[in-house]
Amino acid sequence: MSPVLPAVEGRAVQATGAGARPAAPRLRRSPWETRALRSTLLTAGAWLAAIVASVPLFSVLYMLIVRGGSRLSWEVLVELPPAGFEMGGGFGNAIVGTLVMVGLGALISVPVGIAGAVFLAELGPNSSLAAAVRFAAKTLTGLPSILAGVFAYASVVLVTGTYSAPAGAVALAVLMVPTVLLTAEEAMKMVPRITKDAAYGLGCTRSQVIWKIVLPTAMPGILTGVMLAVARAAGETAPLLFTALFSSYWLVEHGAVGLMRPTASLAVLIYNFAGMPFENQIELAWAASLILVMIVLFINIASRLLGRRRA
Amino acid sequence: MINQVATNGHATSNQNGIVIDCKLKQVYYGDFLAVRDSDVPIEKGKITGFIGPSGCGKSTVLRSLNRMNDLIRGFRFEGHVHFHGQDVYARNIDPVVLRRYIGMVFQQPNPFQMSIFDNVAFGLRLNRFRGKVGERVEQALTRAALWDEVKDKLKNNGLSLSGGQQQRLCIARAIATEPSVLLMDEPCSALDPIATRRIEELMIQLKQNYTIAIVTHNMQQAMRVADTTAFFSVEMSKGGRTGYLVEMGPTQQIFENPQQKLTKDYISGQFS
């Protein structure tokens, strides 16, 4: 005798008589049922959308490798850009310029961003200043990059009287600060409360907890944010157009570094050369694009690896 | 001197034997009265157990002893906690320095994201310990009954250990700086019975060198390890539930012959 099943709301209990067993449920697949069809369609749609989303990256990469790869050589990496009808040449100075400006930009934005994040995550997370800073940073992440250029033009170029690498670096730093700040804050917030409690319990001051526990524990996350900011800055053109301008010469000449003058960058070189009527320059623009994408890709992969080391 | 239990349920005892004399009047979190009227003397070289239902304030009282609650917004302590004759809530007391004398082990094992050695050496380096750090680390790990298991992998990350080992590592970290009192806030609640037993054995060994106060929700654990037991309860009050000390005395008496009905009900409710 099977016990009488309690009636479940909305579902009649199958029991035709005392001792009767309910019919076995049908468990076989029925792929043409409406429910199953809808599921299959949605799954296919999601797959398709995922593939479409990756098409731009791979088609760009394909074009760059085909068009830029053919021109790639040691020569283009170390030589100066050619003039009008000149053949050959390269964009060594633009690579150096990009690295110098992104490096200087990071030098400005990383300390500011991390120190700001310490305030947001640890010192005054609930203060009105923190709310204002967060709002400003989030707005700044959506700032059209050309406005960062306008800012640097007004605050550095006009003041120093010249287009220069530092002016470009300031423009890039303006774009990098919010990314560094917000990702570093997130990384620091991820440090468990109990870990910080342990440090306080051992007799750490607040600054010791931050220096010895919070920052080291959050470091992989912070580095990921820095790398993402650097990768974005490396590809920016607009902020450099009227801050660093462009140059056909090296930053270092006769053994002296001359930062306070127009400076070449890969992004601006691509912008300039792609619009020229000369085959040589257009080929160089393709090659420079490939190099730039490879730099950005390399930085992104590096940030992935740094982030993963934590887990 | 032996403790004498007064009829009101509060222990009175020889001042010399008491390391921390906590006379808590009221503790607030914001407007909420969390704990009231709890006098909890912690005796030197003994294990004092705090038991009671959830929300009875036993953890709050424990964490008030080394001012860990200062880190919580809105925390306010009324009353005093005397430690070596000084009120730790006095204006001129630095809670950071205080916590170096009153160590703490938490509910969740919380080793730092660094090597086993560095975890234990952390407090020593913090205090600019002048001496052989390696020896002290070994001593602390030995006392925490962990040395044999980790002596060959001191460079491994502290988080690579099992839960029970992590908790013993946290105990080693807490005792490396030789605090005079060790506060333990439900140190075994995240551990399995075997790891729990090891920690309990360890506590009994540590009694020779340290004074221990432990919060536990496990009454058998209190019976096994505590010399003195404090029973807290909770009552409804304006703004929420307020905890208070019902009775405190030698563990055997609390469990076998409690003076208060509340204690009796709580204990028998759990065991009968």
Identify whether B122 is part of a domain.
Answer: no
Q: What is the Cα–Cα distance from A202 to B172, expressed in whole angstroms?
A: 12
Interface of A with B (CB under 8 A): 126, 192, 194-195, 197-205, 208, 212-213, 216-217
Q: Hey, where are the domains in chain A?
A: 35-69, 74-308
pLDDT score at A168 = 92
pLDDT score at B209 = 85
Identify whether B225 is part of a domain.
Answer: yes
Q: What is the Cα–Cα distance from A91 to A281, expressed in whole angstroms?
A: 10
What is the per-residue DSSP string for A129-187? Answer: HHHHHHHHHHHHHTS-HHHHHHHHIIIIIHHHTS--HHHHHHHHHHHHHHHHHHHHHHH
Q: What percentage of chain A has pLDDT greater than the value 70?
A: 90
Per-residue pLDDT tens over the stretch A73-126: 888 888 888 877 778 888 888 999 999 999 999 999 999 999 999 999 999 888
The count of other CB atoms within 10 Å of the CB of residue B189 is: 14
Q: Is-contact A20 A13, C-beta < 8 A?
A: no
Contact A198 B112 (CB under 8 A): yes
Mean pLDDT lowest among A14-18, A133-137, A206-210, B40-44: A14-18
**Pairing label, strands B75-83, B86-87:** antiparallel
pLDDT score at A255 = 63
The CATH number of the domain holding residue B265 is: 3.40.50.300
Q: Is-contact A194 A201, C-beta < 8 A?
A: no
Which residue type occupies B66? N
Q: Is the pLDDT of residue B26 over 80?
A: yes
pLDDT score at A309 = 60
pLDDT score at B181 = 92
Enter the DSSP assignment of B115: B
Which residues of chain A does B174 touch, with a Cβ-Cβ cutoff of 8 Å? 201-202
Identify whether B24 is part of a domain.
Answer: yes
- Per-residue pLDDT, averaged over B236-263, amounts to 87
Contact B108 A194 (CB under 8 A): yes
Tokens of B160: 């690579």
Identify whether B31 is part of a domain.
Answer: yes
pLDDT score at A8 = 47
Per-residue pLDDT tens over the stretch A157-192: 898 888 888 999 999 999 999 999 999 999 999 999
Fold topology of A74-308: MetI-like fold (1.10.3720)
Cα B139 to chain centroid distance, Å, stands at: 21
* Residue reference for tokens 């944010």: A225
User: Under 8 Å CB-to-CB from A260, ≥6 apart: which residues?
Assistant: A160, A162, A164, A165, A166
pTM of the predicted model over 0.80? no
> Average pLDDT, whole number, for chain B?
86
Q: Is the pLDDT of residue B6 over 80?
A: no
| Largest separation between any pair of C-alpha atoms in chain A | 104
Which residues of chain B does A201 touch, with a Cβ-Cβ cutoff of 8 Å? 66, 68, 99, 103-104, 106, 174
User: Under 8 Å CB-to-CB from A109, ≥6 apart: which residues?
Assistant: A172, A173, A176, A177, A180, A229
Range of the domain at B44: 4-110+183-271
Contact B103 A202 (CB under 8 A): yes
Cα B131 to chain centroid distance, Å, stands at: 28
Q: What is the Cα–Cα distance from B68 to B79, expressed in whole angstroms?
A: 16
Identify whether B258 is part of a domain.
Answer: yes
Looking at the structure of chain B, the number of domains it has is: 1
Residue A29 vs residues A23, A45, A46, A163: alpha-carbon distances, Å? 18, 21, 22, 70
pLDDT band at B11 (very low <50, low <70, confident <90, very high): very low
Tokens of A256: 């002296």
Which of A195, A203, A217 has the CB atom closest to B96's CB atom?
Answer: A203
Q: Which one of B65, B113, B122 would you mutate to disrupt binding with A, by most A Cβ within 10 Å of its Cβ?
A: B113
Q: What is the Cα–Cα distance from A99 to A303, expressed in whole angstroms?
A: 17
* Residue reference for tokens 């054995």: B201
pLDDT score at B5 = 40
Identify whether B257 is part of a domain.
Answer: yes
Q: What is the Cα–Cα distance from B60 to B70, expressed in whole angstroms?
A: 11
- Per-residue pLDDT, averaged over B191-213, amounts to 87
Q: Is the pLDDT of residue B32 over 50?
A: yes
Q: Which residues pair with B4 in a beta bridge?
A: B12
Three-state secondary structure call for residue B10: coil
Q: Is the pLDDT of residue B30 over 70?
A: yes
Identify whether B60 is part of a domain.
Answer: yes
Per-residue pLDDT tens over the stretch B138-169: 999 988 888 989 989 999 999 999 988 999 99
Identify whether B85 is part of a domain.
Answer: yes
